């Protein structure tokens, strides 16, 4: 038996129920992992609320990120053995003391990266990797705008983008978060609760605007994000923490300067194990070298997952948050 947090119906944080279940042994191609730490991500709230449908229906154990030790391996699994230190980002199921997961979703942890750091960075760090190095390849001399710069992805991405030589503008929602963003790579920080971020971007750039806007906020930053872009700039919408964008008007892209827009998702980029490993190696290199620092600013017991969701949705968190079994 293992402790899990499971939902039987969609709704608020109160639908997260602590239970004991039997998960069995790994099947063909699977590995059983005992978690040392579990990542908390905004996408977890989407599955819980019903905004995103549960992949295999309900009941559902949420969570798609964790780190721990291999307990056992199923038939046909090569490259992993009991005792191996691993981390993953994958399908829901990580809100658990132990879980079964396809071996193709795993990566082996380097000796210099501990479980807490790994659980805090896999989804967020790999997201930063594909945003900065694949969706729009940031280069030295460019200017980028990153919304929610003090969030989990934002703190990683802004450090990384600064290392790449970009001028980094970040938006935040409080003076405390502004300080955090400045300490993690932002050259300029805009408190969107006090300032009009479009006007401030124009002032900061002397009207030249940005090559790319990374936007995980959604409703509250649209269509303003488009007004921060140079002609033929790219708007990368990769989340919707303030709510989904309704009635997206494709014609705006033409009117505002032949803009590009995309809505990427991490799981497309890591669908092939070779791509996952290459992206993870890139992430491990910048973290291991100290270019990107991963800070776990909140920690909750697994059994307090509902309170963790309340803190996340209430914007009371900064950086990374983990659950500990």
pLDDT score at 238: 94
Task: Report CA torsion sign: 39, 279, 295, 179.
Answer: negative
CATH number corresponding to 2-122+267-324: 3.90.180.10
| Residue 93, token pair as written in the block | 């199921």
Based on its alpha-carbon atoms, the radius of gyration of the chain, rounded to whole angstroms, reads 20
How do 229-237 and 210-215 pair as beta strands?
parallel
| Residue 300, token pair as written in the block | 């909750």
d(CA 35, CA 13): 22
d(CA 154, CA 159): 8
d(CA 33, CA 248): 42
Give the residue from 313, 315, 309, 58 showing the smallest Cα distance to 323. 309
| pTM of this prediction exceeds 0.85 | yes
Fold match between 2-122+267-324 and 140-263?
Answer: no
pLDDT score at 315: 80
Give the residue from 200, 193, 143, 156 showing the smallest Cα distance to 172. 193
228 in Cβ contact with 145 (< 8 Å): yes
Phi, psi of 163 (to 5 degrees): -60, -35
d(CA 80, CA 67): 14
Q: Domain 140-263 maps to which CATH number in 3.30.70.120, 3.40.50.720, 3.40.190.10, 1.10.357.10?
A: 3.40.50.720
Give domain limits for the chain. Answer: 2-122+267-324, 140-263
320 in Cβ contact with 293 (< 8 Å): no
pLDDT in tens, the chain (325 residues): 999 999 999 999 999 999 999 999 999 999 999 999 999 998 899 999 998 999 889 999 999 999 999 999 999 999 999 999 999 998 999 999 999 999 999 999 999 999 999 999 999 999 999 999 999 999 999 999 999 999 889 999 999 999 999 999 999 999 999 999 999 999 999 999 999 999 999 999 999 999 999 999 988 899 999 999 999 999 999 988 778 888 899 999 999 999 999 999 999 999 999 999 999 999 999 999 999 999 898 999 999 999 999 999 998 887 789 999 9
CA distances from 215 to 131, 143, 154 (A): 11, 15, 10
CA distances from 261 to 43, 170, 177, 235 (A): 21, 19, 27, 5
């Amino acid at each position: 038996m293992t402790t899990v947090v499971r939902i039987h119906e969609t709704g608020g944080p109160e639908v997260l129920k602590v239970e004991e279940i039997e998960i069995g042994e790994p099947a063909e191609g699977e590995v059983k992992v005992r978690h040392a730490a579990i990542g908390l991500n905004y996408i977890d709230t989407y599955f819980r609320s019903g905004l995103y449908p549960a992949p295999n229906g309900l009941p559902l154990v949420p969570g798609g990120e964790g780190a721990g030790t291999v307990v056992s391996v199923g038939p046909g699994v090569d490259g992993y053995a009991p005792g191996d230190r691993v981390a993953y980002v994958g399908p829901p199921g990580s809100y658990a003391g132990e879980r079964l997961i396809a071996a193709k979703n795993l990566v082996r942890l380097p000796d210099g990266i501990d479980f807490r750091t790994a659980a805090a960075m896999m989804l967020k760090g790999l997201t930063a990797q594909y945003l900065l190095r694949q969706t729009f390849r940031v280069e030295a001399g460019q200017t980028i705008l990153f919304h929610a710069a003090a969030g989990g992805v934002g703190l990683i991405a802004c450090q990384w983008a600064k290392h790449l030589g970009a001028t980094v503008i970040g938006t935040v929602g409080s003076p405390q978060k502004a300080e955090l963003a400045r300490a993690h790579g932002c050259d300029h920080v805009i408190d969107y609760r006090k300032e009009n971020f479009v006007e401030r971007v124009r002032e900061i750039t002397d009207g030249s605007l940005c090559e790319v806007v990374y936007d995980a906020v959604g409703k509250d930053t649209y269509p303003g994000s488009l007004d921060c872009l140079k002609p033929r700039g790219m708007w990368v919408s990769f989340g919707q923490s303030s709510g989904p964008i309704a009635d997206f008007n494709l014609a705006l892209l033409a009117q505002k300067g032949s803009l590009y827009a995309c809505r990427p998702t991490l799981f497309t980029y890591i669908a092939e194990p070779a791509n996952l490993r290459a992206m993870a190696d890139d992430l491990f290199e910048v973290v291991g070298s100290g270019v990107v620092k991963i800070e776990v600013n909140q920690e909750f017991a697994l059994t307090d997952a509902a309170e963790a969701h309340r803190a996340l949705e209430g914007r009371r968190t900064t950086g990374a948050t983990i659950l500990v079994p």
